[in-house]
Amino acid sequence: MSSAPVEIEKLPKGNSLTKDAWRRLRRDKFAMFCLSIVLGYALVAVLTRLGLVAGTWSEQVGKSYSPPSAGSWHLWFGTDIFGRSVILKTIYGAYVSMTVGLLASLIAVPVGVVLGAAAGYYGGKIDDIITWLYTTISNIDPTLFILSLAFVLGKGMNSMCIALGSSAWVGICRLIRGEFLKHKEREYVQAAKSLGASDARRIFIHILPNVSHLVIINFSFLFISAIKTEVILSYLGLGVQGIPSWGTMIDEAKLELARGVWWQLAAATLAMFVVVLSLNIVGDALRDALDPKLK
């Protein structure tokens, strides 16, 4: 009885989780379309930041409150009270929103992940303290919390990002804590432990990659809520100062509607609607793609 030795080289090579997810995401045509829209917004934001587009938003391009017209693209969405192009203001607003969304998520995600991981992994006193902290913060109405932070830190884009970031980490922290509680008892972690892996190695090398899909999905949802909160804060006059934002545009529209000027509201809400919807669909598709159960 002889049997052929297993030829290891001939085994089909497995795909990594990310590669697999990417393949599945690509199959979803609509999600890819939405992703390209989000990337388009990001590109516009970068170009605005570099001063290549919308740098001239503060210049007068027509009469005060000119309605939308087909001529120059600057006038597609009409003009505001000072005769400035509404479309340029909307583009500039996209830059503000994307920046706030990105920065706030970049603050909230690491804070949430690190605290959640520590709480879930170590348990005991550390867990108690962190649980107390996020329960307390989540009990404060988020809008009021951000309002009071905006008053303390002063107004402007930076303080708004800090305010948003320091309140938005709660959800992700809670989620990661739960996952870590579950994973730390799993065999693969126990195996790593018996091989002498340190705590840090077990947290970051072993467990974290297994919960990273949650981080990515949450990142996209945090992004959306940051954009929405930016608009609300700016609407209340606590957001960005002296530069256009979708929130301030909607605030202006509140009075302008009475005189029949609808285009600022239309432009700002349309821009916001498209990006929020796209991010939502991308987030949903990501969840499906990254979920191992749906393989």
Min. distance of Cβ 30 from another protein in angstroms? Answer: 25
Residue type, 85: S
Is residue 260 at the binding interface for another protein, with CB under 8 A as the rule?
A: yes
Q: Which of 272, 269, 265 is nearest to 227 (CA)?
A: 272
Choose which of 22, 33, 73, 82 interacts with another protein (CB under 8 A). 82
Concatenated DSSP letters for 219-245? HHHHHHHHHHHHHHHHHTT-S--SS--
> Which phi and psi angles does 60 have, rounded to 5°?
-80, 125
Q: Does residue 252 bind another protein (CB under 8 A)?
A: yes
Asked if 51 touches another protein (CB under 8 A), the answer is: no
Contacts (CB under 8 A) with another protein, residues 4-33: none
Q: Could you give the CA distance from residue 130 to residue 89 in angstroms, rounded to a whole number?
A: 42
102/271 with CB nearer another protein? 271
The answer to whether the beta carbons of residues 52 and 101 sit under 8 Å apart is no
Q: At its nearest, how many Å lie between another protein and the CB of residue 258?
A: 4
Q: Is 63 in the site for another protein (CB under 8 A)?
A: no
Distance CA 104, CA 219 (A): 10
Contact in structure between 170 and 135 (CB atoms under 8 Å): no
Q: Is the dihedral of CA 239, 243, 247, 253 positive or negative?
A: positive
Q: Does 230 bind another protein (CB under 8 A)?
A: no
Cβ closest to another protein, residue 43 vs residue 255: 255
- Cα–Cα dist 102/168, whole Å: 12
Q: Which of residues 31 and 276 has its CB atom nearest to another protein in the complex?
A: 276
Q: Report the alpha-carbon distance of residue 174 to residue 183 in Å, rounded.
A: 14
- Decide: is 242 part of the binding site for another protein (CB under 8 A): yes
Interface segment toward another protein; rule CB under 8 A; list 48-56, 138-146, 174-182, 235-243: 235-243
Residues 52 and 66: beta-carbon distance below 8 Å: no
Among 37, 106, 127, 155, binds another protein (CB under 8 A): 155
Site membership for another protein, residue 144 (CB under 8 A): no
Q: How far is the CB of 83 from another protein (least distance, A)?
A: 10
Length of the chain: 295
Q: Does 238 bind another protein (CB under 8 A)?
A: yes
Name residues contacting another protein, limited to 264-283 (CB under 8 A). Answer: 269
List interacting residues with another protein (CB under 8 A): 58, 64, 81-82, 155, 236-238, 241-242, 248, 251-252, 254-260, 269
